[in-house]
Each structure stands twice: as structure tokens, then as C-alpha cells.
Amino acid sequence: MKVLITGSNGLLGQHLIPLFLQDERYQVIATGRGPNRLPLQQGYVYEAVNLRDAASVNHLLEKHQPAVVIHAAAMTQVDDCERNKDACWDTNVGATRFLIQASERQGAFFVFLSTDFVFDGLQGPYSEDDPVNPISYYGSSKVAGERMVANSKLAAWAIVRTILVYGVAADPKRSNIITWVKNNLEQGKKLKVVEDQWRTPTLVQDLAEGCKLIVDQQAKGIFHISGDELLTPYDMAVQTAQYFNLDTKLLEKVNASTFTQPAKRPARTGFVIDKAKELGFKPHSFAEGLEIVAKEIPV
């Protein structure tokens, strides 16, 4: 069975590809912008494609005829989306439309990656049935993508919402909350960390496993895939500092209002993940995830 994975150079893509390659039932076609930047270069086909171009997308799917499309490519920097709304819409909505249309023609099972930012953060944690109400342009673009999927003529589809994904990418410039805290505290720098936002942070390996469970079982509908613990960024920073034996006194609790950011963030999201657990999803705790990430951080 052929699986096409978009956004293969991204954090999730880098973990999805080896996971599917371990399963001999699947042939993997990976696509991203520009050259292949994955450490693992063999065992799959890589295509550099501009997903914002309909003809390129059509050619890609006609050439490979995938049975499954996992659409993980997106513009995810919330403030960049607020500053560059046209680029955000073209990437998160336009490219999704082209992929849906091409997938409809191929009869492919379409898996769309979405976010907790489709919610306003007033009543988290959220279940899959809760009404969406985004408060940022990024969130609005993902709601538009979700609605296109749900209202499409796709033979089958799934929407995977996730939250604050952390893990180690091949690109050392990509930071996550763990490496950000570790690197700054090791240099003796003080950090202001938000204590009035709540999330259920997601280890990238868990998210990849959740996506594969959905594909393996051809599970249809909306699924919340995240960790199981409601934590603030400050909670995560303290756990990180303690794990690496760094000075927690360098961490200062602050309110989100301390920072001037173009995009609003929902205060309290978090997910109810019972539906995912019915598929066999078992997320790691943040402490376990921290240990996994620590072993992967380049020395």
C-alpha cells in the first residue's frame, strides 16, 4: 500500500517516514519543499513539490497513485501566520484544497493534521465533538482546512488534531521547549515562562504512532492525539530543568500578557483522548518524553 506523506522535512514527517518503513505493508512517498533533508535517505521515494501549485499536486498523485495521503505540511508558526495571512492561507488552505481534489480522483484515504488552536481556550480540555472557535489566523486557516476535508467527496478521511508537539528534528536550528530551556539555563540565562496557559503536550513519536494507528485501522472522523497531562509551559520548564540538574531559580513565572505577540493564544486547551485510546493509542508522560528527547539531543 502506497502512503504519501507531505511535510516530510518537518518534525512529524521525520518520524512518520521511518515508522511506516518499518512496516512491510507500506511503500512510502515523501514530499517536501526543496531537497530531502532527512537523515534517512533510502527505502522510499522523495519528491520535491510545491503543494501550492495545483498542476504539481495533480502530477504527484497521478504518478504515484497513493492509497493513503497524510497531509502534515503546514505553516504552523502562529505569529508568522498573523503577519503573512496570504502565505498562511495559500499554504494551509489552498494546498489542502489541491491535495483533497487530487485524492478524490485517486480514491485515497486522506489524513489531515490539525491543531488545538481551532478552539478558543475558554473551556479545555476539549473532545472531538466540541465546537471550534479559533482566535488566531492560524487557527482559522486550520478550521477552513478541516471543513474542506469534512465537506469533500473523499472516499474516506480522518482529521488528526494535536497540541504542542515536541521532539528532536534533524535540523539543529529547530528548537523545542526542552532544548530551549536546557540551552538557556546551561548558559545561566534567566527565562520568563508562561504559567497561565495549559496544554497537553505531545511527544512527536506518539503523534506519529497515533497517525499510523488511524491509517492501519482506516479509522474515519476526527481524532485528538496528544499527551494525557494538562501542564503549563512553566510546569514543563521546571521538569526539564530538574531532569538536567539545572537551576530552577532562573525560571520566572509570568502571565501571557507579559509578551507582545501578533497572534492570540488560547489560554486553556488540552484534549480528551479517549477516542484515540480506543484505537490503542498510549501516550508517554511528559517525564517519559523528556527522557526520550534527552537521549536524542546532539551532544
**pLDDT classification of 170: cutoffs 50, 70, 90:** confident
| 75-128 pLDDT per residue, tens | 999 999 999 999 999 999 999 999 999 999 999 999 999 999 999 999 999 999
Q: What percent of the chain has pLDDT over 70?
A: 100
Mean pLDDT of the chain: 96
* pLDDT tens for each residue of 200-255: 999 999 999 999 999 999 999 999 999 999 999 999 999 999 999 999 999 999 99
Backbone phi and psi for residue 212, each to the nearest 5 degrees, phi listed first: -70, -35
The whole-number pLDDT of residue 247 equals: 97
Instruction: Kindly report, residue by residue over 126-149, the tens digit of the pLDDT.
Output: 999 999 999 999 999 999 999 999
Mean pLDDT, rounded, for 282-293? 98
Average pLDDT over residues 42-64: 98
Cα gap 9→110, rounded to integer Å: 19
The class level of CATH for 177-197+230-269+286-296 reads alpha beta
pTM metric for this prediction: 0.97
Q: What is the DSSP string of 25-76?
A: T-EEEEEESSS---S--SSSEEEE--TT-HHHHHHHHHHH--SEEEE-----
The confidence score (pLDDT) of residue 72 equals 98
The pLDDT of residue 175: 80
Fold observed for domain 2-166+202-228+270-277: Rossmann fold (3.40.50)
pLDDT at 151 over 80: yes
Q: State the average pLDDT over residues 185-211.
A: 97
- Determine the average pLDDT of the residues in 280-297: 96
Report which residue type is found at 104: E
Closest by Cα among 167, 169, 179 to 292: 167
207's grid cell: 503523534
